[in-house]
Amino acid sequence: MQKSILILGACGQIGTELTIELRNKFGSDNIVASDIREGSESLMQSGPFELLDATNYEAIEDVVMHYEIDEVYLMAAMLSATAEKFPMRAWNLNMNSLFNVLNLAKEKKISKVFWPSSIAVFGPNTPKENTGQSTIMEPSTVYGISKQAGERWCEYYFKKFDVDVRSVRYPGLISWKTMPGGGTTDYAVEIYHQALEKGLYECFLSEETKLPMMYMEDAIKATINLMESPAENLTIRSSYNLGSMSFSPKEITQSIQKHIPNFKATYVPDFRQQIADSWPSSVDDSDARKDWNWKPNFDLNSTTAEMLDNLKGI
Ligand code: AKB
């Protein structure tokens, strides 16, 4: 079946690769990329592109009507570290953009929504290892509070208004095509760039801080698989835990040293340490595995090999 998809926040770390993959899968003309700013030439020229503010309901509605959009992937958000600096801007962006797409679906102007949640929904009182789907949450960051509230609203719109909304709690995402911006897990991308450029990296988290992480190819696969799964298989309409690997800055350093033996990392924790300390070390994603056959392909060492290989070629 042919369908049209709109991606909000298409120029960001996830949006860029999601746009490429959806264009490969469903045909470039059917995938409308949009962002508040312009992105890479290849993204803007490989299919339709619109400058669009995800907090502007009327503007999104115009694009949805113009392209006869069926599904919206809302990838625009302010991440954890930046959100601590601009709490109200983060809250307004993260919540208003979500209400905009949920309300478009409630009005039956679109038929399906993808919205990303995060491991940030968990907090300091959450059990750290193999963190369950439903457990103590109590997020302590602005970003986490917005993601937790968003999850509640997604489930509410599903139950009350029959909105087909789907979501995963992304861990830290590692990619080479587009840099992340403003997150606490960004060190796990920066470290590869600095290892190749300088052979040295000053990490803003302590060496033992273990967090759940995932290679972007797995994250994109999970996102599209969830969206393509039959609705009747899905038992969770807040957001699915999604796991792959967990490692600390020390472990990623050791993995890089297998390729670049002289690489050195130093550790100078800043305000992001407290955010990282409030998040789980690993998550239990058995619901995603059971409901829609989730299974990651990449571990730390295969991620390192891919990252270094691809970054060398740029
Ligand atoms: C962040 O660090 O803020 C994000 C996330 C884990 O959601 N990468």
3-class secondary structure per residue, 105-123: HHCCCCCEEECCEEHHHCC
Residue 313 pLDDT > 90? no
Which residues belong to CATH 3.90.25 in the chain?
172-213+245-312
Select from 14, 118, 277 the residue to mutate for testing ligand 1; criterion: most ligand atoms less than 8 Å from CB. Answer: 118
Measured on CA atoms in the order 230, 232, 233, 236, is the torsion positive or negative? positive
Candidate list 57, 67, 73, 143, residue with the active-site label: 143
What is the structure's pLDDT at 143? Answer: 98
What is the structure's pLDDT at 66? Answer: 98
How close is the Cα of 49 to the center of ligand 1, in Å? 26
What is the structure's pLDDT at 2? Answer: 87
How close is the Cα of 275 to the center of ligand 1, in Å? 10
Q: Which of 56, 77, 298 is nearest to 167 (CA)?
A: 77
Mean pLDDT, rounded, for 168-181: 97
Residue 59 pLDDT > 90? yes
Q: Is 211 helix (H, G, I), strand (E, B) or coil?
A: strand
Select from 170, 216, 242 the residue to mutate for testing ligand 1; criterion: most ligand atoms less than 8 Å from CB. Answer: 170
CB-count exposure of residue 300 (10 Å: 0-12, 13-18, 19+): buried
Percentage of residues in the chain having pLDDT higher than 90: 98
How close is the Cα of 171 to the center of ligand 1, in Å? 7
Pair 227, 306: CB distance under 8 Å: no
Q: Which residues line ligand 1 (CB under 6 A)?
A: 79-80, 118-120, 143, 170, 172, 183-185
CATH code for 172-213+245-312?
3.90.25
Percentage of residues in the chain having pLDDT higher than 70: 100
What is the structure's pLDDT at 162? Answer: 98
Residue 219 pLDDT > 80? yes
Residue 188 neighbours by CB under 8 Å, 6+ apart: 172, 174, 213, 252
CA distance 286 to 288: 5
Cite the beta strand spans of 200-302 per DSSP E: 200-203, 211-215, 240-241, 245-247, 264-267
CA 51 from centre of chain = 21
Q: How many helices (H) and strands (E) does the chain have?
A: 12, 14
Whether 143 is catalytic is yes
CA distance 69 to 279: 36
Report the predicted TM-score, pTM, of the whole model to 2 decimal places: 0.98
5-170+216-241, CATH topology level: Rossmann fold (3.40.50)
Q: Which of 199, 311, 177 is nearest to 260 (CA)?
A: 199
Which residues belong to CATH 3.40.50.720 in the chain?
5-170+216-241
How close is the Cα of 181 to the center of ligand 1, in Å? 9
